[in-house]
Structure 1
Amino acid sequence: MLDPRKLHLLRELSRRGTIAAVAEAVAFTPSAVSQQLSALEKEAGVPLLERTGRTVALTPAGHLLVEHAQAVLEQLERASAALAGVRGGLSGPLRVGAFPTAARVLLPPALADLTRAHPGLVPMLSEIDPADVSAALGAGELDVALVHEYDFVPPVTDPSLETEPLFSEPIYLTNRPSIAAAAADPWIAAKPGTLCYTMTIRACQAAGFDPLVRHHLDDFDTVLAFAAAGHGIALVPRLAALAPPPEVRLTRLPLSRRTLAAFRRGYEEHPAIRAAVAAFRSASTLLPV
């Protein structure tokens, strides 16, 4: 019989690419991960990994088993959700991930409502970039997370995750009437590799130019402070610009950022996840967007 815990490690290896990355994600030592994967190979009766020096790759049989492992792990999630549904009142930790603006604006009232309705539930919040959410949910580091999508940036799909849309908000441009009017200006953007950075670059390219990014800043309060001091032009979502400095003029653009709740596939009917998503949605109806 194949061990689901070892299947989980194999799935993580297919996602993360190295034994060391899997070990860090699941809080094991690299040698313990290697031992578990070797034991899984014995259970499977076929080679699952190809080892070349310090690198490890999945064999065709390994890739095949990962596909089946995904289905098995989803069924186990559904079983866990079903059992939680018959136990009665919700209790225990609920690990929530969120990007900074959602953590600051949406989650304080949402988590307050959640704990009032379910006093035994203990929400535990971690700020996280949406690009890292898939790995954190897959590794069991988070139970539910808030992620976002931008125009000009195709959504990142992960077959092991489910998402539910919550709300949409407009994007604003600082101190210029249009993106095209800022073609010669220095720009402020998030760090490369983030969705916010990609959105800024592609929005400018759609206006006919490649922006000169002078500052890479992830915190929107800092972005607005730099814009107020004349250090560059930026695109900011509505939730990040509820109280801009008086020196910053905001022009609403026909662009949007959409926020979604994300969780592991098979976990969608878990009562704690349903309660959390309901609290997020309720709080979102009160947002000034």
Structure 2
Amino acid sequence: MLDVRRLRLLRELAHLGTIAAVADALAFSPSAVSQQLSVLEREAGVPLLERTGRRVALTPAGRNLVRHTEAVLELLERADAELAHARSGLAGPLRIGAYPSAVRALVPAALAELASRHPELEAMVSEVDPAGVAAALRAGELDLALVHEYDLVPGEPEEGITLTGPVFAEPMYLAARTAGALADHRHSPWISAPPGTLCHELTRRACQAAGFSPRIRHRVDDFAAQLALVAAGQGVALVPHLGTGHCPPNVALTRLPIHRRTRTAFRAGAAAHPAVAAFAAALYAAVPAELRAA
């Protein structure tokens, strides 16, 4: 009988690419991961990995086993959801991931609503960039998370992760000392989130669509700080609605035909879990009516 814990290691290797990354994600030593994968190969009776120097790749049999592993883990999530429905009341930890502007603007109200309905449920919130959500969900560090995408930067599907339809959509704004269009700032310095984030990619693609490449001077992953830099004459920035709550008076916000859309993400099979559904309902209640997705 194949061991589910070892199958999970193989699944993570397929997603993360290296044994070191799997060890880091799941709090193992690299040698322990290698040892467990070797045991899994003996259990399977066929080679699952191809080793070339320091690199490891999955064989066709290994890739096929990962496909079955995704199905097995989804069934286990569904079983856990059914058991949760059989218990009386919701209790215990619920680990929630969210990006910073949602943590500040929406999550407190959602948690208050959740606590009023399910006082024994212990919500635990962690700030996480959407790029890191899938790995955190697969590793069991989170039970669900809020993720966002932009019109110009759609989210990429992740095996083993389910995304809901948009919960709400925010307009994006050009923040500058004076109102204007994107094309008016082809020679301006720009303020953006660090490379590797969806926000950085949005700035790059939006400017390219306007006919130029942005000259990014400041890399700051906080919208309030970006607005403060704009107010100080340090450049211009793209800011979503939730990030404009403390806009300095000398900053003009020009609405753009671009939206940021927020979805909830969780492990495949967990959609019916009552704690996941309870938080989703509390979040929807916290979203201003004008932002709610139809």
Q: Same fold (TM over 0.5)?
A: yes
Partners of 1:77 and 1:35 in 2: CA distance: 27
Partners of 1:285 and 1:264 in 2: CA distance: 27
Q: Residue 199 of structure 1 corresponds to which residue in structure 2?
A: 202
Output the amino acid matched with 1:247. N
Partners of 2:31 and 2:215 in 1: CA distance: 46
1:280 counterpart = 2:283: yes
Cα-Cα RMSD: 1.3
What secondary structure sits across from 1:122 in the alignment?
strand
Output the amino acid matched with 1:228. A
What secondary structure sits across from 1:31 in the alignment?
helix
Q: Residue 92 of structure 2 corresponds to which residue in structure 1?
A: 92
Matches within 5 A, 1:154-233: 154-164=154-164, 165-175=166-176, 176-233=179-236
1:131 counterpart = 2:134: no
Output the amino acid matched with 1:166. V
* Normalised TM-score (structure 1): 0.97
Residues 209-243 of structure 1, C-alpha deviations (whole Å, 9 max, x = no match):
11111111111111000000010010000100022
1:54: Cα distance to partner? 2.3
Farther-moved stretch of structure 1 (238-247 vs 53-62): 53-62
* Normalised TM-score (structure 2): 0.95
Output the amino acid matched with 1:170. P
Extract unaligned runs of 5+ from structure 2. Answer: none
Partners of 2:288 and 2:181 in 1: CA distance: 29
| Equivalent pair of 1:144/1:273 in contact (CA under 8 Å) | yes
| Equivalent pair of 2:170/2:291 in contact (CA under 8 Å) | no
Runs of 4+ in 1 over 6 A off after TM superposition: none
Q: Residue 62 of structure 2 corresponds to which residue in structure 1?
A: 62
Number of equivalences: 289
Matches within 5 A, 1:96-107: 96-107=96-107
Extract unaligned runs of 5+ from structure 1. Answer: none
Q: Residue 20 of structure 1 corresponds to which residue in structure 2?
A: 20
Q: Residue 36 of structure 1 corresponds to which residue in structure 2?
A: 36
Output the amino acid matched with 1:143. D
Do the aligned partners of residues 195 and 229 (structure 1) sit closer, same or farther apart at CA in structure 2, a change above 3 Å counting? same
| Equivalent pair of 2:168/2:291 in contact (CA under 8 Å) | no
Percentage of pairs with the same residue = 60
| Equivalent pair of 1:19/1:30 in contact (CA under 8 Å) | yes
Partners of 1:61 and 1:288 in 2: CA distance: 47
| Equivalent pair of 1:49/1:62 in contact (CA under 8 Å) | yes
1:252 counterpart = 2:258: no
Output the amino acid matched with 1:195. L
